[in-house]
Amino acid sequence: MTSQEQERLLAEAKELEDRVPPLAAGPRTEHERLMLERAAELRRRADDYVPESSGPLRQRLVEVIENEVPETYARLASTRVSETLDAWAEEAVVRARDTARKLFAGLMPGATGTAMADEIADKILAAVWTKDA
């Protein structure tokens, strides 16, 4: 995300908020609540913006280490970051599979349900890791 995209998100959020009358004007309609929820989501996305950073989390952390950590410690720091991210990824796989299996256990017992749960967990994890691995 660039600073221009961040500004666009904030402008869009403000526009949505401005279209909703003040609370003193009466109870909110469902449409007004949805506009405010959308504005809040746009603001959250804009708040996640970190200037001068792009790419997956692992790449951004390596860039910070290269730029901020003294050279003598950079290799150790990079190794520890990689180990931590790998552990998180492994734990995410285990949790996603366990959760999917629990959800599908009653719907489709047996090997078919387990296979379907694993397939869904794999799709969820693929979407998450490609977004910000």
pLDDT score for 55: 61
pLDDT score for 132: 47
pLDDT score for 87: 87
Alpha-carbon distance values, 40 to 26, 49, 51, 62, 64 (Å)? 21, 15, 21, 31, 29
> SS3 letters for the chain?
CCHHHHHHHHHHHHHHHHCCCCHHHCCCCHHHHHHHHHHHHHHHHHHCCCCCCCCCHHHHHHHHHHHHCCHHHHHHHHHHHHHHHHHHHHHHHHHHHHHHHHHHHCCCCCHHHHHHHHHHHHHHHHHHHHHHC
Higher pLDDT among residues 1 and 115, named by residue: 115
Q: Is the pLDDT of residue 1 over 70?
A: no
Render pLDDT for 9-59 as a digit per residue (tens, 0 to 9).
Answer: 999 999 999 999 888 888 889 998 899 999 988 888 887 665 555 566 777
- pLDDT bucket at 101, cuts 50 / 70 / 90: confident
Alpha carbon distance 108, 126 (integer Å): 23
pLDDT score for 14: 92
* Pair of tokens at residue 31: 């449409």
Task: Quote the pTM value.
Answer: 0.44
Longest C-alpha distance within the chain, in Å?
63
Q: Which of 6, 86, 9, 5 is nearest to 40 (CA)?
A: 9
pLDDT score for 19: 92
Mean pLDDT estimate for the chain: 80
Q: Is the pLDDT of residue 130 over 60?
A: no
Region 91-116 average pLDDT: 76
